[in-house]
Amino acid sequence: MLTAVLLFAATAAQAASAPPPVSVPPPEEIAPGIYLLPGAMLPGRGPDGNTVVFDAPEGLIVIDTGRHAWHSDGILAFAAARHRPVAAIVNTHWHLDHSSGNGRIKAAWPKAAVYTTSAVDRALAEGGFLARNLASAKPMLDDPKLDELEREEVQIFVATMDERKVLRPDVALAQSGDLTIAGRKLAIHVTDRAVTDADVWLYDVASGVAVIGDLVTLPAPFFETACPTEWRAALDDVWAVPFQTAIPGHGGPMDRAAFDTYRRAFNGFMDCVEGESGAAQCAAGWGEGIAPLIGSDDRMRRMALEYAEYYVGMLRENGGKSAECLAAPPQ
């Protein structure tokens, strides 16, 4: 398993000269005025989460900014091609594969306000998840056995933490409700302790598109900071909204049937974790449940089983929750 540091390794300060390891596709129009810039999960590197861009009267609304420089550069290239400013950034949660690009975006568009919850402040505070990982990351750089890609990712994480102010909200989202951002009205939903201790997902009534962040993550949920009981409830809340397309934090756009497949697999996995079956059996059940969503991708199937089996043990050690959930204050 990758360490938490590498899973969250960030790139706000990544060298601009570093070439992208893959070509970055242009954003795909999911619905009129709504575009998806897919994230990537490359071997040996931390992932980039998906980015969704909304057209708005005052400019572009960028939802999640990815991890690596080539990802955020793709966002900036899209804005330049459209001859439109980035008017706002929305971070669905504080995991750095969704927020590390904030620095590069704000460097180009300083007036772009960051909308997110105050959960990031707790993660950055002394004793918080990101602060603890920073303390463990720096000694890793002295390890001669650390391979080149891991070293680069850790260096990126440390550099981003040096610029942590760009991760904090300019507008703190504390409750659900309609909100006008850059002149566009969106339904904002704030979860109580799901993926982190406070996450954001959005629903655009006009298009029927829901942007749900890491409430859906393929090939497996990331439970290191999660409260699974509340996560189940959040998936039910999404299901209750009449969306036509849901865009997850990792993975392609989903129709209602695909989302329900994930929701049922998640519930089945947690039922297994809370029962007495072996970890391998729970992981196999997860793999079977999400098989229609990942198709014939052997690497994704292997990752799904590996992550799921690991998380069975981690969750059981903490009474069905992550250690972060046990420490998180209720909202």
Pairing of strands 171-172, 51-56: unpaired
Task: Give the pair of three-digit tokens for residue 116.
Answer: 């997110």
29: pLDDT strictly greater than 90: yes
pLDDT on residue 18 = 45
Residue 263 CB coordination number (10 Å): 18
pLDDT on residue 219 = 95
Tell me if 78 sits within 8 A of 35, measured CB to CB.
yes
Q: Looking at residues 225-243, what average pLDDT do you find?
A: 97
Q: Which residues share a beta bridge with 248?
A: 213
Least confident of 91-105, 139-153, 157-171, 224-238: 139-153
pLDDT on residue 147 = 84
Tell me if 123 sits within 8 A of 94, measured CB to CB.
yes
Least confident of 33-42, 144-153, 296-305: 144-153
Tell me if 243 sits within 8 A of 208, measured CB to CB.
yes
pLDDT on residue 15 = 34
Tens digits of residue pLDDT in 62-72:
999 998 988 99
Tens digits of residue pLDDT in 150-201:
888 888 888 888 889 999 999 999 999 999 999 999 999 999 889 999 999 9
Please tell me whether residue 268 adopts helix, strand or coil conformation.
Answer: helix
Task: Give the pair of three-digit tokens for residue 331.
Answer: 């909202």
* Mean of all residue pLDDT scores within the chain: 90
Residue type, 46: G
Task: Give the pair of three-digit tokens for residue 178.
Answer: 């309609």
Going by the DSSP 8-state scheme, the letter that residue 219 receives in this structure is S
Residues ≥6 apart with Cβ < 8 Å to 50:
36, 37, 38, 39, 64, 247, 248, 249, 250, 251
pLDDT on residue 330 = 55
Cα three-residue angle 51-57-59, rounded to 5 degrees = 45
Please report the domains of the chain, with CATH numbers, ordered by start residue: 4-327 (3.60.15.10)
Residues ≥6 apart with Cβ < 8 Å to 327:
none
In 3D space, the residue among 303, 66, 238, 294 whose CA is nearest the CA of residue 311 turns out to be: 303
Tens digits of residue pLDDT in 267-292:
999 999 999 999 999 999 999 999 99
Sign of CA dihedral 140, 143, 149, 152: positive
DSSP string covering 160-210: HHHTGGGGS-SEE--S-EEEEETTEEEEEEE-SSSSSSS-EEEEETTTTEE
Residues ≥6 apart with Cβ < 8 Å to 57:
182, 183, 184
